[in-house]
Structure 1
Amino acid sequence: MVQPVELAAYLDTQGVVYRQSETQVIQARQNQWAQRLSPQLTQRITNDLRHKQSRYWPAPLNASSIQQEHWKLQVRLQRFNGVYTGNAEVAGSWELLNPKGESMLNQEFSFQVPLKDTGYPALVEALSAGIDQLSTQIETQLVTR
């Protein structure tokens, strides 16, 4: 089961986030996510893992699966934003928990993806590429486990 993606508080917003300096972050007013970010990312990671490997069949956590014992994947994002350097940054950690809730794998990640152009569409594309890198990293660890 893929647990809902946990977001740092500053990311849990409707607006796309951009880091203007080492100390200043802004949230876009005009460029907003189509829906809440956590469910979008949870579904994206679930779909990516389904397509990239066949050993496990990832599914999003739902009400009927809460009481059942399953392996769980928890992704935590500390950074999911544009940066003044011309990159998108995707950083955080992920953890694989066995049915007893014990941590079996725990890995931090940090991806810097260069924007191919200026503007929010290029930023969203680069953030998507960062999630693709993350799901590839998770898939590699699951398959070699």
Structure 2
Amino acid sequence: MRRRRARRGLAAVEMALLLPLFVSLLVFPLFLGRVFWHYTAIERAAQDAARYLSRVPLGDMNNPARAPAAAAVAGQIVAAELAELSPGSIPYGLTTLCDGQICIGVVTPSTVTVNIQLYLEDTSFSWLTWQPLPLVVEASYPYIGR
């Protein structure tokens, strides 16, 4: 009878020692899935904004008054697509470039690029990530507007 009680105690100690390992094996894939979900959403937003900029009519891209407005519309596309990531608490950086420079409508670009930088702060697993995780996506398309 005494051996049986000792084994019960041993099972409880083993469970107490292995439980953190099992929980961490469950938490890490959940965190990694969240990172990939955010990266995919950022990548899709950058591609959609760059695709829009690549199809803006030539008259708008050569006009110094309308080219920044087209870049602003690309920014609105990004904002709308990144709104699903969280209730708006994640700030991001957005850069729209025409041939490596800000789109100001002086020359016709050969490529348009959208760059998004986002820092993923994880409130659920803050003990796992001490600092925000930087996610950077860049999408480039050849300019085909006519």
The normalised TM-score by structure 2 is 0.32
**Structure showing greater Rg:** 2
Higher strand fraction (1 or 2): 1
Q: Larger relative CO (CA 8 A, sep 6+): 1 or 2?
A: 2
